Chain A
Amino acid sequence: MKIFNVFPETIFSIGPVHITDTVITTWLVMIAIITISYFATRKLSVKPSFFQEIIEAVFEAIEVTIKDILPVEPWLVIPVLGTLWILIGFSNLAGLIPGLKTPTADLNTTFAFALISFSMTHVIGIATQGLKGYLMHYKEPTWLLLPFHLIAEVTRTIALAVRLFGNMLSGDMIAIILLGIVGLLVPIPFSLLHIIIALIQAYIFGVLTLVFIAGGIRTKS
């Protein structure tokens, strides 16, 4: 009997770097996204085709969400955050395809995403108001809260990674445990629930990043 494993397994190693099956799934997801984007952006026209309509709807949803939350020019954030959103969404859903392992059910992947989010917060904070202006937001409301600001920088990044990881891993584990108990057809409703959770978690990851970025920008009032 084949034992299913939700945890990442090393396929091969290059020197000290272990390439796990989650990494390979991530590469496949990236190839899929690039292929879809390439073929969807050929033959763009003012009267959109079916595919172009879908892409435009996704793009508009991203743009509207970012514009609503961010107090500055949204085009600073839209390219990288939109890519992050789409990549996390596809990665979360990739585990539903038989034979693939959810890339985000690996703590390393989610930590990589969280590091991108962490650095984005600082880069965009500095880009919009300069180094000095950005550092000033740490002393709001008083200097006494500076240590807590610094602790929050670390803990919220870890929380971001662990949240995505825990949600995706729990979805996979529920499916596998049910598969061991009852087998046929019963795990399907839970997989449907997993689709919803996967999409919501991708949304949450992006929105929280956005809220952190907006928190680093002092609105001129």
Chain B
Amino acid sequence: MDAKTVVISVSIIAAAFAMAIGGYGPARALGKALTEALDAIARQPEASDRIMRALFVGMALIESIAIYAFVIALIILFANPLIGYILK
């Protein structure tokens, strides 16, 4: 195996792990946030507007963690800065 093969195969595995681990945490957090919000709405249906708004904003913030993992995976796959050293 030459250096190029190593870098490319490691990049693919790293991208897969980045998505797998980076998706796991936010998925659990989103589930928990939704459960709690539904619980709160069941207790106080009249406050559902404010709860839903807070839920949307919170979910976007949680989801952005998964999006960061996705962007990192994209950088590894399509714009890998390290591969330039080898192809030189």
Contact = CB atoms under 8 A, between A and B. Distances in A.
B67 A204 contact: no
Interface string B58-88: 0010011001101100100010000000000
Nearest to B50: A68
Given A163-B64, A207-B57, 20 more contacts: A7-B78, A68-B53, A162-B67, A162-B68, A162-B71, A163-B60, A163-B63, A163-B67, A166-B68, A166-B71, A167-B63, A169-B74, A170-B67, A170-B70, A203-B56, A204-B56, A204-B57, A207-B53, A207-B56, A211-B57
A206 to B, nearest CB: 11
B76 to A, nearest CB: 14
Interface of A: 7, 68, 159, 162-163, 165-167, 169-170, 200-201, 203-204, 207-208, 211
Interface of A is mostly: helix
Contacts, number: 35
Interface of B is mostly: helix
B64 A159 contact: yes
Interface residues of B, number: 12
A166 B53 contact: no
Contacts of A165: 71
Nearest to B79: A7
Query: Which 5 A/B pairs are nearest by Cβ-Cβ distance?
Result: A166-B67, A204-B60, A163-B64, A166-B71, A166-B70
Interface of B: 53, 56-57, 60, 63-64, 67-68, 70-71, 74, 78
Contacts of A204: 56-57, 60
B64 A200 contact: no
A210 to B, nearest CB: 10
Contact of B64 (A162, A169, A203, A207): A162
Contacts of A159: 64
Looking at A163, A165, A200, A211, which has the most chain B CB atoms within 10 Å of its CB? Answer: A163
Nearest to B74: A169
Contacts of A68: 53
Nearest to A207: B57
A169 B74 CA distance: 10
Contacts of B64: 159, 162-163, 166
A183 B78 CA distance: 24
Contacts of A167: 63, 67
B73 to A, nearest CB: 10
10 contacts: A7-B78, A159-B64, A163-B60, A165-B71, A166-B68, A166-B71, A200-B56, A204-B57, A207-B53, A207-B56
